[in-house]
Amino acid sequence: MIVLGIESSCDETAAAVVVDGRTVRSSVVASQYELHEMYGGVVPEIASRAHEECILRVIDEAIDRAGITREMIEAIAVGHRPGLIGSLLVGLSGAKAMSWALGVPLVGVDHVQAHLWAGALDRSMPAYPALGLVISGGHSSIYSLKSATELSRLGATIDDAVGEAFDKVAAILGLGHPGGPRVDAAGGGLGADDRAFDFPVSRLGKESLDFSFSGLKTAVLYTVKGRPTPPRVAGKPVLEVAKPEPMTPERVRDVAASFQRAVERAVLLKLERALEQTGAKQSLIVGGGVAANSRLRGALEEFADKKGLELVIPEMKYCIDNAAMIAGLGYELYKSGRVDDLTLCAVPTTGC
């Protein structure tokens, strides 16, 4: 079955053609990095306008590259939640128009759930039951999966998503946008000391499977910019900033490395707890932009190995937002009976 996937939830306009859920015939991603770089983050209004300008070109290119004609498409899958509402609406409108014009089914896909399918693209079927980990710019969650389409959330971040922490730490260190890959490169450099700074790992009690990354981010901020001390004169809100050490390239490298060590410890701690609490699993399925992080990839491999789990982690190109994961999961959902009509709505939050 040939499925066209469309994705426009944040700052990537993407379309892909996937056969039978796993064989990727084409995956086109138009990124908007340069448009948002000067703002240090994604500006929603700019993002939706940029989607609108390139969505038709991106869809046409995905169809061309797949070597098919429009008439060969058998279903349209679209990421309709979660995301920036204006951005989602562009992809959703395109998907509805194509579904109506071609007379083929429309399937709405949850973007977060689709990240957990990205590791199956161009690979064999993952083994279930599985433990799922989504680490992206908007989400940090752990799931228990019975199948690709049946999952329940075990925990999520109570403040910042892990990718958000990477992006903010990059900004604090003056590394620019997009932050994740730059912190990855800075902290992975030769001679980096990941124990130079003892950054906190949030546990949230003995049982919790939730994450918290805001304390870690603040600890990095204080290390780099200095720690504000309480005002000496009551009623006068003057903050004294303890003078930080100058940020040499070596110090930047060591802060980046120590931050990543803390992230790794936080992620592994919660995965360990999740396994203890939910019992035996066949695989560990990971997805989301932060799954591209070199240090985490190595750590997750080691963890899965130790626990006797098959690690299902996407190829680098399927870690960040793409439409192949949407088309792929769309196919699985369609097989399980899901079909939407033209009343399908864009929703800002995830349903899983």
Select from 194, 321, 332, 340 the one that contacts Zn ion (CB under 5 A): 321
Alpha carbons 118 and 20: distance in angstroms, whole number: 14
Phi and psi angles of residue 298, each rounded to the nearest 5 degrees, phi first: -65, -45
Q: For residue 55, how far is the Cα from the chain centroid?
A: 21
**Is 163 near ligand KG4 (CB under 6 A)?**
yes
Q: How far is the CB of 25 from Zn ion (least distance, A)?
A: 22
Q: Applying CB under 6 A, which part among 37-45, 53-61, 285-293, 301-309 lies near ligand KG4?
A: 285-293
Residues 65, 95 contacting (CB under 8 angstroms): no
Residue 189's Cβ-count burial label (10 Å; 0-12, 13-18, 19+) is middle
Select from 7, 110, 160, 167 the one that contacts ligand KG4 (CB under 6 A): 167
Q: ∠211-217-223 over CA atoms, to 5°? A: 145
Which of Zn ion, ligand KG4, none is residue 330 near (CB under 5 to 8 Å by kind)? Answer: none
**Is 260 near Zn ion (CB under 5 A)?**
no
Q: How far is the CB of 284 from ligand KG4 (least distance, A)?
A: 18
Which residues ranging from 121 to 150 are in contact with ligand KG4 (CB under 6 A)? 136-138
Q: Which is nearer to Zn ion, 76 or 326 (CB)?
A: 326
Which residues ranging from 59 to 118 are in contact with ligand KG4 (CB under 6 A)? none
Q: Applying CB under 5 A, which part among 14-22, 56-64, 74-82, 314-322 lies near Zn ion?
A: 314-322
Alpha carbons 310 and 206: distance in angstroms, whole number: 27
List, in sequence order, every residue forming a beta bridge with 271; answer none if it has no partner.
Answer: none
Phi and psi angles of residue 42, each rounded to the nearest 5 degrees, phi first: -80, 125
Quote the DSSP letter at residue 158.
S
Which of ligand KG4, Zn ion, none is residue 178 near (CB under 5 to 8 Å by kind)? Answer: ligand KG4
Which residues ranging from 170 to 209 are in contact with ligand KG4 (CB under 6 A)? 178-181, 184
Hey, how many other C-beta atoms are within 10 angstroms of the C-beta on 187? 26
Site residues for ligand KG4 per CB under 6 A: 10, 136-138, 163, 166-167, 178-181, 184, 288-290, 292-293, 320-321
